[in-house]
Structure 1
Amino acid sequence: MHKTVVPRLSGVHRFACLALYRALLRQCAKLPNTAPELDACKPLIQQKFHKYKRLQSPSQTLNALKAGYEAYDLLHSASAGNQHDVNRIISLISETRELKQRESEMQRALTKYKQLKQKPPSPREQRREASRRAQEQTALRHPDATPILSRPRPVVSGKRRVPVLVNARGVPFLRIKKPQPKNLSGVIRTKLEKRWSRIKRRERLHEDLHFSKDEDDWDSLTLGLEKDTFEQPIRDAISVVNNQIHETDEANRRLAEAMWNVVLAERKLAAEEQAKEKGEQTT
């Protein structure tokens, strides 16, 4: 079987292509300045080489090289003063520009047609887009937002929404409606990460406590009993962390009780408003 040769991985092929590329650029520099259209030769050659540099098909590579050598002959003749070839180059550049312009117009028309024929978004996509917009709008706290514990509101426009008390791994909050505001999610995440970091610190301190006991045992054997020990500072640090965790949990418990009272008050007002609305409808 014949060995498969990939042109762009061949050193001989790369040398030949680079030599042709440099020769074409040199001929572009020698073109006469009689027509401004000739200035487009160099960018056009660079664009074509960049476009075809990853060709792997031997037949396509052969056709591209043949076109390159023909272009070299044409540029060489034009740079020597052949007006016929100069006009031919100008004509080729004009045709290339017109073809590129037609392709751009066709592409714009095709894109516009696809947009007109595009299917309407599905209900799921509409919900996803609405959720994305809601997250963008609630990334920051609204400047006119009132504290949640200031509820219940004595008068509301429309039907009263009774909040739901939610426990997010120990962090309580009142959910008024979905989707959940992004700034609220950030506050909950920050509180949970802070509590978890304290728990991990407490675990590391318990590990260090075993090493401190060994150090104190060694000192008692070599130096006798000492007033200052390695164990006591670590026990003090563990006590501080435990107090911080306990205070945070206690604050969350008090907040949960206050929020539950808000829920009960909202339920009471909602029931009264519903009963009043039914009485007005019967009369």
Structure 2
Amino acid sequence: MPGFFIPARNSRHRTACFALYKALIQRARQVTLPEHVAYREPDKPYVHPIHRFVRHSFQQNKPETSPRLVFAALKAGYKFIKLLDAAKTPDSIAHKQVVSYLEKRRPPRMPPKNLRGQVEKREKQRAREARRATREAGGFIPGETDRRPPLLVRQVVPGSETMSRDGILTHLYEYVPGNPPRPLEEIPGGVRPVPVFTTESNGIPFLRMGKPQSPILSRALRIKGKKRRTRAQLASLLMRDELEFVGQEDIWENNLLKVAEEEAPRDAAAATFVREMSDEPTYRHSVAIAVAYINSQLNIETADMLARSRGMLKIIDRERTLAEQEAKEREAKQQQEGHLGDKKAA
């Protein structure tokens, strides 16, 4: 047998192993066990103890590629079929051997090393789903901080509903501040910073709060910019290279159509070809549709960025107004404290 042979990827070997596994499980369920051996783990579905050992053994031997080890494992499996057949009788020697083995060794709780990653992944997924359900129900999650509302919230502009020719209802959207201004007591230093409106090289707007810039914000801008550049480059490629190529294809199709129209009165296949070609769009039309779709997506993104910019400017105006008001209050407080100091000194 060659060294590169992997039994787990061989259809015949897999069929034989599945048949052996099924035979062992069927016989294991027919073996009656005393109560102290056939225990149940809390909060888990009941699994027959022998079933646990069989499943664990097959999982543990799954990555084996040595013909010697694979042959020994299969040979042991066929021997256990005979043992379980004999263990169906409660007073038999085989039944006592199975019970004695289960008393000495508890069923394995941890999966094999090659499957622990998958088990941990499933457990994390269950935990995430449980946290999501608790959060949606308004429950408390220990160790989880309160989430702040989003910076901007998209809302439908009242009275902006329009119906297209295709019968699709569309709306205009606007962005409004999603969270109230932070109290002055929560701001480090006691001075409210006013954010600066900035745009990325692709025109994506964002608010700069100072240095260093948040890695999360940098990553979001990088992903958005890459997506917008990819769309613009694809539209440019279609218009620069593909239009000329599809124009040549349309010329070829027209030449074939002319020849078929001449042969149509005498050839039924040519007449069928003429009918089919008259209903099909041209290649240039297909490329034009693709370019129009990409440009429409870019236009939608541009309109969304403009709406976001207006919402961010609202936040800047609000924060600047509060900062100026708080600065006047600090100045008045300092002047009042200065007058009080002068009176005490006098």
- Which TM-score band applies after superposition, normalised by the shorter structure? 0.3 to 0.5
Q: Which has the higher contact order (CA 8 A, sep 6+)?
A: 1
**What TM-score, normalized by structure 2, do the two folds share?**
0.37
Tell me the TM-score normalized by structure 1. Answer: 0.43
Which one has a larger percent helix, Structure 1 or Structure 2? Answer: 1
Answer with 1 or 2: which has the greater Rg. Answer: 1
